[in-house]
């Protein structure tokens, strides 16, 4: 009896999931009957910096000591969901992230992930792909910057070639 109940429950969860996915792809493709452009509440143009307290961040020269402290924080707060290769686990592999995103975007994602996945086009896309919400890991701004320094290291800064 228990088993049958369990099967029923998992069955309906799966059905709900399928319905949800169908609903998503449907809304993406159906552009008919759109409201006049003046009525659409358009988000501000995406400048690639993300949403949060960081904007216009420029990087100083690479600092190996800061990167080392970033590595320690990363391993305790982030590595359950992220690899530093390009391999996805819960979240995307972070190799190459400093090439595909601006520094401010990365810092905003680390310190403000919930708002980012609701409002920032790139982060929204990531949530669609990964279907798990990244949550704020209680990192300070300085810790976020140290992690960013570590990501620069992963992406090859501070090596002989740079
Ligand atoms: C519970 C799992 C989880 C934890 C813990 C987590 N993340 Fe994430 N992260 C995700 C997921 C999932 C995404 C994709 C966006 C989403 O679905 O919310 C993401 C996205 C990102 C991105 C964007 C990657 C890209 O390709 O642009 C960065 C950068 C990032 N996380 C850094 C971190 C850092 C740094 C930490 C630790 C402070 C951390 N994350 C902790 C799950 C996690």
Q: Evaluate whether residue 160 is within a structural domain.
A: no
pTM for the whole structure? 0.79
**Does residue 150 sit within a domain?**
yes
Give the CA dihedral 84, 96, 73, 108, nearest 10 degrees: -140
Q: Supply the range of the domain harboring residue 140.
A: 79-154
What is the average per-residue pLDDT within 43-54? 88
> Does any domain span residue 21?
no
Helix (H), strand (E) at residue 88? none
**What residues are in contact with ligand 1 under a 6 Å CB criterion?**
74, 77-78, 80-82, 90-92, 94, 97, 101, 106, 109-110, 113, 117, 123, 126-127, 130, 132-135, 137, 139, 147
Asked if pLDDT for residue 24 goes beyond 80, the answer is no
Give the residue-averaged pLDDT of 141-153.
Answer: 98
- The answer to whether residue 48 is domain-embedded is no
């Amino acid at each position: 009896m228990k088993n049958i109940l369990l099967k029923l429950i998992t069955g309906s969860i799966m059905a709900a999931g399928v319905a949800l996915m169908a609903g998503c792809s449907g809304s993406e493709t159906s552009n008919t009957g759109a409201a006049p452009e003046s009525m659409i509440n358009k988000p501000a143009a995406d400048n690639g910096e993300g949403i949060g307290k960081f904007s216009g961040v420029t990087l100083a020269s690479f600092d190996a000591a800061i990167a080392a402290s970033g590595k320690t924080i990363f391993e305790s707060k982030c590595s359950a969901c992220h690899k530093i290769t390009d391999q996805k686990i819960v979240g995307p592999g972070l190799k190459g992230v400093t090439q595909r995103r601006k520094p401010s975007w990365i810092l905003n994602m680390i310190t403000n992930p919930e708002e980012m996945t609701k409002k920032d086009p790139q982060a929204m896309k990531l949530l669609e792909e990964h279907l798990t919400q990244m949550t704020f890991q209680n990192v300070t701004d300085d810790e976020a910057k140290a992690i960013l320094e570590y990501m620069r290291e992963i992406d090859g800064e501070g090596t002989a070639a740079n």
